[in-house]
Every structure is written in C-alpha cells, then in structure tokens.
A and B are shown apart, each in its own frame.
Chain A
Amino acid sequence: MDINEALKIEHSFEAGDYDVAVVGAGHAGCEAAHACAVMGLKTVLFTLHLDSLANLPCNPSIGGTAKGQIVREVDALGGVMGKVADECLIQMRMLNRTKGPAVHSPRAQMDRSKYSVAMKKLLEDTDNLDIRQAHVTSLLASDEGDGKYKVTGVMTESKAVYRAKAVVICSGTYMESRTIRGEVIIESGPDGLPRSVGLSKSLSELGIPVLRFKTGTPVRVNANTIDFSQMQVQEGETDCPPFSFDNEMKGKGVPSEQTPCYSVWTSPETREVIFDNMDRSPLYSGVIKGTGPRYCPSIEDKFVKFQDKTRHQIFIEPMGSNTREMYLQGFSTSLPEDVQVQMVHSLPGLENAVIQRSAYAIEYDLIEPTTLKSSLESKIVAGLFTAGQINGSSGYEEAAGQGIVAGINAGRFVQGKDAIIIDRSQGYIGVLVDDLVTKGTNEPYRMMTSRAEYRLFLRYDNADKRLTPIGYEAGLISDERYEAFKRKYEAVASEYERLTKTFTGPVPELVQILESVDQVPPSSGVSMADLIRRPGVTYDMLAPVDKDRPQLTSDITREVETDIKYEGYLKLEEEKINKFTKLEKKVLPSDIDYSKITGLRLEARQKLDKMKPVSLGQASRISGVSPADITVLLVYLESLKGGAGVSGN
C-alpha cells in the first residue's frame, strides 16, 4: 500500500513528515533512532508501550562473550547501549580473564527498570528525535516496478499516516507473536506486552519472505523466598573497565558496591519432574513450529538432548536494586505453569520459592535476512532497513549492533551518501551482519567469538581504534571525543615506542621478577618490550625496573601490553586480513546477469542471481558457491576490466 491509498482509508490522517521512522524501541530501535537523530535527521521512534522502551525481557544482563565486545563496538561508533549500561549496572565481571585478551569479555547485571527509564530519558533529551507510543500496522511503499518498491512511510492502528524517506523496522519478538506455556497459548508479546499485528503481513505483501522463530525465557522468583545459604555466591569485580569510552576517559569506574549472583545445580527430582511431564511440552507435542536457538535450549531440551548429563547449572541473578525479583538463568521452559512450580521447588534453596512471573516460549515473525544488503537495507524495498531479531538474530547486544548500522545507513540513505559497511575484519558487528545477510540463519543467531576469523584483532580493548574513525565519519562522534580518542592512541603509540627503546640489564630486581614467573634472567641488556613478550611477564610487573615510565591509565597500558605480547600473532592475522580485503574489494557490479555466465554451475548461478553479492569476497561466503565458481567470476571481472564488454558466453 502506498501513502495515497493509505490516506484514502476511512479516518486516516496525515500525522507527520519525517526523514526516518524507526518502528520498535528495543535495543536495535533505540540505537537506530539515536544515530539518525544525532546525524541531524528528523526522526520518529515508535514503540508499542513507552514504559517498556529498551526492555530487557529476558536475562537482566548486558555483555558476555562476544556480546561484551559488541557493546564496546556500539559505543565506539557513537551508540548509547554502553553509556546506559554503565549507569545502570549492579554487578560487573570480566569473563575469560585467564584465556587471553582477545576473548576478555565484560558482562554486567542490569537494573532492568532503571535501564529502561534511563534510555527513555536519554532519547527524550536527544535533539531531532520524537518518541511516539503507537502500533504501526503497515509499511507504506511505492511500486517501482519489476518487483521493487520504495519506502514512503508507515501507518498506525489508529490510521495515523506518517511520511518517512527511510524506515527502520526493529520489531523484536513482537510480530504476530504468541506465548506458549504447555497447553496454554496466548496471542501476546513478551512480558505480557501487546503484540504487533499486520506489519508482518504488509512486509510479505511487498514480496519480503517471512519466517518464524521461537525463543523463550525462564521464571522469576521472589528473593525473600529463596534460601541462598545453599548456593554458590558469585561476586562482582570492581577492577573492570566501564563499557563506554566516555566514562573511561572521565575515569569513571564500575561501582565498588555490587550485587552478587548465585548458582545451583538441578537435583535428580528436577529431572524426574521434567520427564514425567514431557508429554505436556509443546516442543515435543509439535505445538511449537518456530525454530529455537541451539545455544540457549530450554531446560527440558537440555535433559533430552544431553542424556549423559544428569544435572545442569542454574544461575540466579537479581533483576535490579529496587526489586526482589530474581531471574533463573538456564531454566527457560515452555512446560505448563503447574509443572514450572514443581520444577522450581526441586532446586536446592528454592524449595519454597514463590514465582512472580512464569516461564514461556514465544514464537514470532521475522524476515529472511539474505534479502538484505550489508547496509541492512532491503534489496526489495528501497529505504527499508531492518535490525535485530527481525533479521534472525538473538540478544540485546546483537540487536544494538545492527541497530546502529541500520540507523547510520538509513541516515545516509536520506542524505544521499554511500552506505557505511563494517566488514568482518573491523568488528564483531561486521561478522554478525555479514553472516546474517550472506549465509542467513535457521535459528536465532547468537554472536560467538569463534564466528570471527580475526578474533585476535577484534578485541574489547581496541574497539575504539577499530571503529571510532567510522563513527566520526558517520557524524556520531563529537569533535571533543574524537580528540580524546586521538590523544589516547597517541599515548598508546608513544608508550609502545618507549618500551621498545627502554633497556635494563640483569639487575637484582629484574632477576627477582623473572624468577617469580620461572623465567631465566637475560645475560645482557634487554628492552622492556622484549621482557613483556616473555610468558607470564606483565607490564605492571616491570615497574621496579622501568622507573621512568609515565603515569598512564590502565586502558592504555593494557592495550600496549597486548600489542607487544601478541605482536607476532597480530602480524599474521593482519596478513590474513589483507588477503581478505583484496577479495572484498573486488566489486561485483549489481547488473551482472549471472544466468548468462555459462562457466558457473547451475546452483551457483541461481544463488548468485538471488543474492546479488556486492563483492567477490561476499560471493565466496555464499553456501553453494564453490571455489571454481569464484574463479569463473574472477575471469569474468578481468574481462570487464579489459573493457572488452563481453558477456560470459
């Protein structure tokens, strides 16, 4: 439906004219709307319920492996998730401390309601941004012929018609969603919120393929009814860096007072309850048709699929500092409510626990992400961008990462500028977007560090170095912050230089330091950098023999230390990145008629024609395109370059 048709509908009216309309105010929508507004575009952000803006409907935490890196990347680009998370965290830990800097991942427990309020306030205070509670039911687009469309606006349930040059849809798990607890199925969004009706149909009418996924969330219980004495306590860590560069620069650390988490193991009784009631599970009875995530299975799934494991670990996490509500991580289920009660009571320390919210599974509509470009713009509807769970991902951080990319590119679309693409060597966000749009996904996609080819390079500590210049180019980073960023990296570079040029002999202090980590003292003078390269030796440890070192903050010294310690490996990775970039730079013109390139195998011809990859690199990652096909394309590209203008025949 186009705007003129919409305006002919009874009671419809013109409600506004915007550059960008963002539908959905979850973690993707908030980033997208904020980015567009900061870029100077007149933006409107729609939410089904203003009090659930930036809701954390599942785990009350932000960060984790790979996810923590994404939060920092979003921040480095000029996003808001990290800032709000720093403000609302009640516990923080750095995961994988012993496993190498590439996989150090911060994870923080959030005060859930505070997070929502803080994000709402931040967006309300953002210039150029209107926030509107409304139920968007239609995407409006003009027919451009040949099965292609162009965005013109959106219409709400109350027939309000908003004009927009670009639309970003971040519908989360709301489109045509239903929650499932055993035999009870309710047409509802998550957390008992209203669902989105009609929007998914309007997308499918434009020719966008719609898929259906499933996810779920565990029960919440009242802390006053839990016996924590039977549980293992997990305290926070105060020596974690904050998520946001701004806070790091201000020297704002994480709070010293933190709220603990707890963990317990399931009992034999838990297993019994689950197996006794398996016939009532909608997962196994076939009620649930959507595909669920493998990495975050429901507890019944865990018991069925990992029969050799007789018990599973459950984490009990606070939902905030002004509530007694506790979240049972690892205990998600779609079994009926009465069974849930028995299951919770089977856990040690939770024998008398009172459930405040039940667990449920939720099914929702999403779009086929391979119909997107790397800018997250639809290949079918010009000016339509999507981000978050609608693209098949899962997780707040993954949503935010896509949100900022979609926001930046929706803004640039309106500005008539080329899209900004973050590639696989630049960030987890790049890996995430490329995986989704190139390979698609058949389950909710969660980011993992092992999905990144250049993991040593995609570190938490160097996210600013990788992405802040891009955020600056996009207009999301203030001059002031960019100057601070440059100062930081000048300090990193000069300290690196100094360490390679500062020498010490085998003085007693050094011998003592080295002996403490089982290292042999050097026979003659040795540079600080060479010492740092030795196993077990750290930057901080060398202070007694490096007396003239400047006073530097730990974020700087940490990065210098990693750069030195991992130098050889980083160089190898850089070589790999260079090779990768070469292929990424081989652009495949969008008007290639693959069906005419006879050297390609039939499957490759069809896949390439459907996907229209932008580069040889992207083509090579499409399943069904073989190395031989890539060679054919190489030859074809060379022939184009030669100006011969040949077709592939």
Chain B
Amino acid sequence: MEPFCALSTPAGVSGIAVIRASGEGVSLKAGKAVKILRTTGERTDAALSSLGGYESCYARFIDPENNKTIDDVVITVFKAPHSYTGEDMIEISCHGGQAVRQEILRVLYSLGIRPAAPGEFTKTAFINGKMDLTEAEAVMNVISADSSRALDASNTQLMGKLKTRITEAEDRLYDALSAIEMMIEFPEHDDTPENTKRIEDLICGVKKSFESLERSFGRGRLLTERMKIAILGLPNSGKSTLLNFLAGFDRAIVTDVPGTTRDTLEFNTEIEGIPVTFVDTAGIRQTDDRIEAMGVKLAISAASEADLVLYLIAPESPLQNVRDTVSELDASKVCVLFSKSDEGQNPLKGQIETELAVQGVTGFASVSVKEETNTELIGAFVKDAYEKAGGINASDITVLSSRHADLLRSACGKLDEALGILRDGLGVDVCSQVIRSALDDSGQITGRVVSDELVENIFSRFCIGK
C-alpha cells in the first residue's frame, strides 16, 4: 500500500502527540525529514530506514525544503508484519502543540505520505489479517456505534443542508457526465458543438459550489479547534495590557517603551464559553530594528490567519496607519477598539468609523482596560464572530468535516483537471473518467456512490488515525 499518515492522539492541546505512518517504504520517505541524534542502539548517524523493528531513535524533525527544525521527536520503527497494520510503520512522538503537529504532517504529506482516510489504519490491519475474532468483534462494535453517531450527525440540520447542496451540485455533474456519455455512446446522433460549452459551464458551476462549501467547512473547524483572536495595533496602543487583562495575569511584558513585544504571544482562555486563543502581536509600524521588523511581519500574518482581529486604536493613532493596516486584512473579521479611553478620545474617531465601516468593519467600541469601561463588549464581539464563522450547533459532525473538506478539495482539483482536458482536447474519455472520480469523492460525503472505494467507505466511520 502507498504510505499514509495521521495524528493518532486526540486533536487538542496535550503534552505530547503521536503521529503514525504506515505503508511500504515509509521509513525511507519520512527519513528525508529526520536527522537522527541517537538510536536505542547508541548509533548517532543512522538513517531512519536502517532502523530495525521496535528500534527507536531520538531525532530532529526538519523541513527538508529549508532544513529548519520543526521539533525534537522520538520515532519508533515497526517492521511488517509486526505492526498494528501489518505493514512497515513509524510512530513519531512530538510535542503537543498544534502548529508542530500540523507542520510534521505537512512535511510527511510533501514527502509522498498521504493523509490517512478515516479508519484506514484499522482497515489495513484488517485486510492484512492482523486482527483475531475478539478484536474484530470489538471493531464491529465501534462500527455500529459510529454509524449511529453518523446517523445522528446526518440528521442535524447543518449536515442535511450540506448534503442537499452537494447533492444538487452532483446532479449537475451527472448532467455533464451524461452529456459526455451520450456523445460517446450514440455518436451517430452527434449533437451540436455547444454541447462541450455546456459541459464546461456545468463543471465550472459545480466547482464553484464545491469550493464555497469547502470554505464553509473551514469555518466549521471552530467547533473542535480554538477560535484564534489576534490583538493588533500600533506600538503602545495597549495590546499587552488588554492581553494581561484577558489572561488575568502578566503574560506579556508591559512597559511604556513602544515595541516591547517583539514576538507574538499566545494564550488560551474561554470567552463566553467559547474556547479561544489570543495572539498578541508586535505593534505595526515602520521600524529600522530588524528583529522588530520581523515581529511586525509576523503580526500581520498572524492577524490574517485569525478568526477575529481586535484592532486597537490609541487616542494618538494617525489615520493613515489605520487605513494601511485594515487594508491588509479581511475587514469583516476586524473589530475596532478605541483603547485607553480613560486617556482621552482619538480626535479622528468619527472619520475612522465612517471609513472603516465602508471597508466592511462592523464592530466599534471605546474601551478602557484600566477602568474596565466597555470591556464586556469584547465578549460580545467574540461571540458575534464565532457565530458568524459558523460556530453554531457544535456537534460531532465537524469531526467528519475535515474529511469532507479534503474530499471536496480533491473533487475541485479533479474538476479543474477535467476542464483542462476539455480545453486541451485530450479526449472526452479521459474527461469523463476524471469527472467520475470527482463524483467518487463527493459521493463519499453524500453516500450516493458505492464504488470500488467500498471498503474505504465502510471504515470511514472510524475517526482518523485509530
């Protein structure tokens, strides 16, 4: 089997995390990102692929693109058939941070170890006869339990709506496919050349639907992962003060010297019962200090990845800076806090509000952390943003959704390919085949296609990595 990998420990914050990969040549592939420091056999310059079964090593996991270290890890090697799946496997124990986990997975993907399908480890174990009856019965229990949960999920309104939308898009795709098949099966009754144009239009339309759905799944992520909130503003606009207030302790160094925060600082808390991660950023301004300049860059990128940006405008902040900053961000995610309201009001407040409202900013508040004036509005902003991002009806369905998003992304890629084939005139036979495999992808969400991916389908009721 071609190698695949997944996080095996629960998503969320933990001390360490374990990433598993299974398949032929997995040590060789992953080895490109592993610099072994020491093995259980006390070797120091071994290659990962030279390790035997049950041998472990302490190693540096790097990004082979730029040789940057991602994390120090411990890797255990398993050799077929003596592993969970019955294939060659490795288990990477890394630190528990989400960024680290994601980076390691990203690198593994880039090395040709694809993301595991749900339940694929167990399925592979099964196929390779690694399970006896007792275990198999246990598996059956999991399957039945999980399918009833899946049933619950599919009954929820959200899932129902998504399914309906995907099914509608699929119908259009079937329409395109039928048009192609008609051309092929009944060539004597050749239709007009407009046919190809119509097929192209249909595919384009479906691709757009899938894309927008995939983005909506991205928002659904909030149901299982923390909402990320960036705190942004000019140096000394009170960012760290706000952070400390929210954290309830001195997390950032707060001084009156502008530019004290040079790195981004993060901490997790709950606001209105919503799990959030606050990211404090370096102040945004032109600077000659190289380290601080890097911090500023980091701040903008942290802010653009956040689900909500709390943008602090101090009484003395100039309008031009505000304009420049907001123009680099998704304005709909920005809430403006006129900070330090105890020290007076920004004379341009009215003008700023008008201009930013045009750009799409909807939340404005004057706050003073020192006097705790209007700080409760921050909670309201967070709640609004959370709901806007689709974070309602938290339930199991979002566990499925990352799989769905992957499938939709894969389907979109295939539809792109199909369009390319039509443009290049490579032949509708291939085009049809590619559309079918896109339908195989979406069909795994709607359950419409029982294809050759059958066993995959069955085991898709497991969680990834089990």
Chain A residues at the B interface, C-beta cutoff of 8 Å: 65-66, 95-96, 98-103, 105, 263, 313, 315, 448-450, 453, 455-456, 535-536, 565-566, 569, 572-573, 576, 579-580, 582-583, 599, 620, 627-628, 630-632, 634-635, 638-639, 641-642, 644, 646
Contacts and interface: CB of A to CB of B under 8 A. Distances in A.
Contacts of B424: 535-536
Contact of B132 (A565, A627, A642): A642
B248 interface: no
B401 to A, nearest CB: 21
B316 to A, nearest CB: 57
Query: DSSP majority for the A interface?
Result: helix
A58 to B, nearest CB: 16
A98 B193 CA distance: 12
B427 interface: yes
Interface string B104-130: 000000000000000000000011010
Interface in B132-148: 132-133, 136-137, 139-140, 143, 147
A638 B126 contact: yes
8 shortest interchain CB distances as A-B pairs: A100-B427, A100-B429, A535-B424, A102-B429, A635-B136, A631-B458, A450-B181, A95-B187
B136 A627 contact: no
A219 B455 CA distance: 51
Contacts of A628: 143, 147, 458
B194 to A, nearest CB: 16
Interface in B399-446: 424-434, 437
Contact of B428 (A99, A448, A535, A572): A99
Nearest to B433: A456
Nearest to B177: A450
Interface string B191-205: 000000000000000
Contacts of B139: 635
A569 B430 CA distance: 7
Nearest to B181: A450
Nearest to A263: B188
A313 to B, nearest CB: 6
B37 interface: no
B455 A583 contact: yes
B439 to A, nearest CB: 12
A100 B155 CA distance: 43
Contact of B184 (A103, A456, A580, A599): A103
A304 to B, nearest CB: 18
27 contacts: A65-B184, A65-B185, A95-B187, A99-B429, A100-B429, A101-B427, A103-B427, A103-B429, A105-B187, A315-B188, A449-B185, A453-B451, A535-B424, A535-B426, A580-B452, A620-B450, A620-B454, A627-B457, A628-B147, A630-B458, A631-B140, A631-B458, A635-B136, A638-B133, A638-B136, A642-B133, A644-B133
A313 B188 CA distance: 9
B131 interface: yes
Contact of A599 (B140, B425, B454): B140
B186 interface: yes
B455 A630 contact: yes
Contacts of A634: 126, 455, 458
A572 B410 CA distance: 14
Contacts of B432: 450, 455
B184 A449 contact: yes
Contacts of A96: 184, 187
B452 A453 contact: yes
B189 interface: yes
B183 interface: yes
Contacts of B454: 583, 620, 627, 630
B458 A627 contact: yes
Q: For A572, A576, A634, A644, which residue has the most chain B Cβ atoms within 10 angstroms?
A: A634
A566 B427 CA distance: 10
Contacts of B428: 99-100, 103
B136 A102 contact: no
B184 A450 contact: yes
A646 B428 CA distance: 50
Contacts of B458: 627-628, 630-631, 634
Nearest to B423: A535
Contacts of A583: 452, 454-455
A64 to B, nearest CB: 9
Looking at A98, A100, A565, the one whose CB has the most chain B CB atoms below 10 A away is A100
Contacts of A456: 429-430, 433
Given A65-B185, A583-B452, 20 more contacts: A66-B185, A95-B188, A96-B187, A98-B427, A99-B427, A100-B428, A100-B429, A102-B430, A103-B427, A449-B181, A450-B185, A455-B433, A456-B430, A535-B424, A569-B433, A620-B454, A638-B132, A638-B133, A639-B136, A641-B129
Nearest to B184: A103
A638 B134 CA distance: 11
Contact of A582 (B127, B187, B450): B127
A448 B181 CA distance: 9
A95 B428 CA distance: 13
B225 to A, nearest CB: 30
Given A100-B426, A315-B188, A631-B458, A646 B133 contact: yes
Contact of B187 (A65, A313, A580, A635): A65
Given A599-B140, A630-B454, A634-B126, A65 B186 contact: yes
A238 B188 CA distance: 18
Nearest to A579: B452
A263 B143 CA distance: 59
Contacts of B451: 453
A582 B124 CA distance: 12
B147 to A, nearest CB: 7
B108 to A, nearest CB: 20
B127 A100 contact: no
A627 B450 contact: yes
A100 B430 contact: yes
B429 A639 contact: no
Contacts of A102: 427, 429-430, 433
Contacts of B183: 99
Contacts of B433: 102, 455-456, 569, 573
B429 to A, nearest CB: 3
Nearest to A102: B429
Nearest to A577: B452
Contacts of A635: 133, 136-137, 139-140
A65 B428 CA distance: 14
Nearest to B456: A579
A36 B384 CA distance: 78
Contacts of B137: 635
B334 to A, nearest CB: 44
B190 to A, nearest CB: 10
A586 to B, nearest CB: 9
Contacts of B430: 100, 102, 456, 566, 569
